[in-house]
Chains A and B, each alone.
Chain A
Amino acid sequence: MTEDATRSVSEAGMAGLAVRLRGVTKTYDSGVAALGPLDIEVARGEFVALLGPSGCGKSTALRLIAGLASPTSGTVDVVRQRPETGGTHAIGFVFQEPTLMPWADVAGNVRLPLKLANMPAAEADGRVTDALAQVGLAEFAKSYPRELSGGMKMRVSLARALVTDPDILLMDEPFAALDEITRFRLNNDLLALWRDLRKTVIFVTHSVFESVYLSQRVIVMSARPGRIAAEFRIDAPEPRGEEFRTSADYAGFCRKVSAALAPAYEGQRA
């Protein structure tokens, strides 16, 4: 690791920014260069999609921002708007799988971040109830994960990320394993949540259609080692819904983004 490789979480500086990556690279111990150099700035309250082929390092970028891995070189800056006390946490993370504890019921899973922050039970109960209501699972608090469908599990995972009232929501292909109808519904619910809560969202996906539908900005990444290949601003009117999904604008954005993504797949066998 070189000397300038750092990750910092601060409350000051970087006016209007939530996340900034500068010259970030990640090389695995095996010598494989996974990422970068990568420069990304995400504004506070922005919804950004990271789009790229499998193995391009987009998930790695997300893990670097979350602090689950450290960069080989470059700097990762995360701005939090409040100190991390009383059960708030700057970052919420939604994994590719629901990643729920099978031995705990839905409420227990959502409560986990608060329990780890040693929040008093009475206060935590209220926050858990609110978070479950936000994702529409209020009446499933006592169910166990095995009793839920894939989409519902993902909602629980989302509620768990929201329960600490994070400034930044990191989502790593959260809906990739779901069927199309369920994915559309969760897309819409996520957009509604984002409009209400105005969190900064960084959403990793390999679906062109999902990235264009959800985000204000699509960052297209190249094949490994992942770099920025292109960037598109999706300035469609809010709120987006089915009429946007079937509009000519939407198709146009998708065509442009697909064209930018195509080189990343060159030389790969389907």
Chain B
Amino acid sequence: MSNETAAPAQAKSGHAPPLRVLLPIIVFAVGLAAWELVVRLNDIQPYVLPGPWLILKTLVTDWSVLWQSLLVTLLTTLEGFICAAVGGIALALLFNQSRLLEYSLFPYAVILQVTPVIAIAPLLLIYLPQQTAVVVCAWIVAFFPVLSNTALGLNSVDRNLAGLFQLYHASPLQTLRYLKLPAALPHILGGLRIAGGLSLIGAVVAEIAAGSAGAGSGLAYRIAESGYRLNIPRMFAALLLLSAAGIVIYALLALVSHLVLRRWHESALGKES
């Protein structure tokens, strides 16, 4: 019998050692300094390659435009993410209840996932109003990880626990609420964490596709537009904002995941265990 109880959790330190924070910052600073130096020494024009200082100045001077665009993109991302989360979890629950439904629909979920969204976006823009098309793109990219992770979680319920629920005549709804959903929660949160970043990518891809059709005001559209006008510093500034938005989204979802799981799940157990 190899059922060891209390398997030791992997010793992952809760506090990042100072080096792990310090080193990337040093690399970042050195990189920026070298960049600035190269631009200045070689007298490279801003429309070829702007230095970091100019990019920062552009970010400040163009803030009102960029901020509006950031809000538009974030709203799209949020809508796509919520649709993906609700849709992915709901579909996984349906699949879990009905094998037939799973067999019928799962291949199409895969097809939707493996077809590059950049190729679908122009088509969607033809058939749907622009704002809807952009959200749908974000949804298409983001929903599959939620679906597949939730499905995996729902199927990885401890068999003895399932037997216990059967013994006490639990209704299907009770089994779902008290057993399957809590057991699947770590997987669901993992799926959502991936989906957050992906919905931003989906939104950006769709905006670029839409932008070339001459409409839109999101951050990605700003990048495309600035490119046509050779306003390279603004391209960089917008890119910086997009990157920052992605990091914030990931950090927020990781934080939520940690807060929800910290009491019991191995992944969230820190120093004290």
Q: Which listed segment binds A: B20-28, B40-48, B120-128, B155-163?
A: B155-163
Is A244 an interface residue when CB atoms closer than 8 A count as contact? no
Q: Which among B1, B168, B185, B269 is the interface contact of A116 at CB below 8 angstroms?
A: B168
Instruction: Find residues 230-251 in chain B having any chain A CB closer than 8 Å to their own CB.
Output: none
Q: Is B263 an interface residue (CB 8 A)?
A: yes
Asked if A45 CB lies within 8 Å of chain B CBs, one says: no
Are the C-beta atoms of A66 and B167 separated by less than 8 Å? yes
Q: Is the interface of A mostly helix, strand, loop or mixed?
A: loop
What 0/1 readout, one digit per residue, does chain A (57-85) give for beta carbons within 8 Å of chain B?
Answer: 00000010011100000000000000000
In the complex, are the beta carbons of A112 and B168 less than 8 A apart? yes
Are B3 and A96 within 8 A (Cβ)? yes
Let me know if A253 is at the binding interface, CB within 8 A. Answer: no
**Given the complex of chains A and B, what is the CA–CA distance between A146 and B185 in angstroms?**
17
Q: What's the nearest-Cβ distance from chain B to residue A180, in Å?
A: 14
Q: Which of A87-95, A123-131, A209-217, A222-230 contacts B (4 or more CB under 8 A)?
A: A87-95
Is A98 interfacial (CB 8 A cutoff)? yes
Q: Which of A23-31, A32-40, A99-107, A233-241 is the contact stretch? A: A99-107
Residues of B within 8 A of A102 (CB): 264-265
Q: Check B5–A98 contact: CB distance below 8 A.
A: yes
* Bound-complex Cα distance A144 to B167 (A): 23
Q: Least Cβ distance of B172 to chain A in Å?
A: 12
CA distance A117 to B170 in the complex (A): 8
Contact check, B165 vs A116: say whether CB atoms are below 8 A apart: yes
Q: Are A116 and B169 in contact (CB under 8 A)?
A: yes
Would you call B6 and A97 a contact (CB within 8 A)? Answer: no
Task: Determine which of A146, A177, A178 lies in contact with B264 in the assembled complex, contact meaning CB atoms within 8 Å.
Answer: A146
Cα A63 to Cα B164 with chains together (Å) = 11
| A96 contact set on B, CB distance < 8 A | 1, 3, 160
Interface pair A177/B6, CB less than 8 Å apart: no
Chain A residues with CB under 8 A of B265 = 102-103
Q: Are A115 and B166 in contact (CB under 8 A)?
A: no
Query: Which of chain A's residues 156-194 have a Cβ closer than 8 Å to chain B?
Result: 164, 173, 176-178
B-side contacts of A148, CB under 8 Å = 6
A53 interface hit (Cβ, 8 Å): no
The docked-state distance in angstroms from the alpha carbon of A95 to that of B179 is 17
Q: Is A153 at the interface (CB under 8 A from chain B)?
A: yes
Among B164-193, those with CB < 8 Å from A are: 164-170, 174, 178-179, 182-183, 185
Residue in contact with A101 in the complex, picked from B9, B182, B266, CB distance below 8 Å: B182
Give the total number of A-B pairs whose CB atoms are below 8 A apart: 78
Range class of the A interface residue count: 20 to 34
Residues of B near A52 (CB, < 8 A) are none
Closest chain B residue to A89, Cβ basis: B168
Contact code string B2-25 (vs A, CB < 8 Å = 1, else 0): 011110010000000000000000
Known: A116-B168, A144-B264. A97 touches B174 (CB 8 A): no
- Residues of chain B within 8 A (CB-CB) of A93 are 163-164, 167
Measured between beta carbons, the chain B residues less than 8 angstroms from A66 are 167
**B273 touches A (CB below 8 Å):** yes
**Complex: chain B residue closest to A114, CB-CB:** B168
Find chain A residues with CB under 8 A from B165 CB.
116
Kindly identify which residue among A68, A97, A115, A146 contacts B167, using a CB–CB cutoff of 8 Å. A68
Contacts of A68 in B (CB 8 A): 163, 166-167
Which residues of chain B in 252-273 are interfacial with respect to chain A, using CB atoms and an 8 Å cutoff?
Answer: 263-266, 269, 273
Q: How far is the CB of B269 from chain A (nearest CB, A)?
A: 7
Bound-complex Cα distance A116 to B173 (A): 10
The answer on a CB contact under 8 Å between A101 and B1 is no
Q: Taking the nearest CB of chain B, how far is it from the CB of A39, in angstroms?
A: 24
Chain B proximity of A17: nearest CB distance (Å): 21
* Sample of 11 more A-B contacts, CB < 8 Å, known A66-B167, A101-B179: A68-B163, A93-B163, A93-B164, A96-B3, A96-B160, A101-B161, A101-B178, A112-B164, A149-B5, A177-B1, A178-B5
> 27 pairs across A/B with beta carbons < 8 Å?
A67-B167, A68-B166, A91-B167, A93-B164, A93-B167, A96-B1, A96-B3, A96-B160, A97-B3, A97-B160, A98-B5, A99-B158, A101-B161, A101-B178, A112-B168, A115-B178, A116-B168, A116-B170, A144-B263, A145-B264, A146-B6, A146-B9, A149-B5, A149-B6, A176-B1, A176-B3, A177-B5
Lowest 5 CB-CB distances: which A-B pairs, in order?
A: A150-B5, A99-B160, A116-B168, A103-B182, A95-B160
Footprint of B on A, CB under 8 Å?
63, 66-68, 89, 91, 93, 95-99, 101-104, 112-113, 115-117, 144-146, 148-150, 153, 164, 173, 176-178
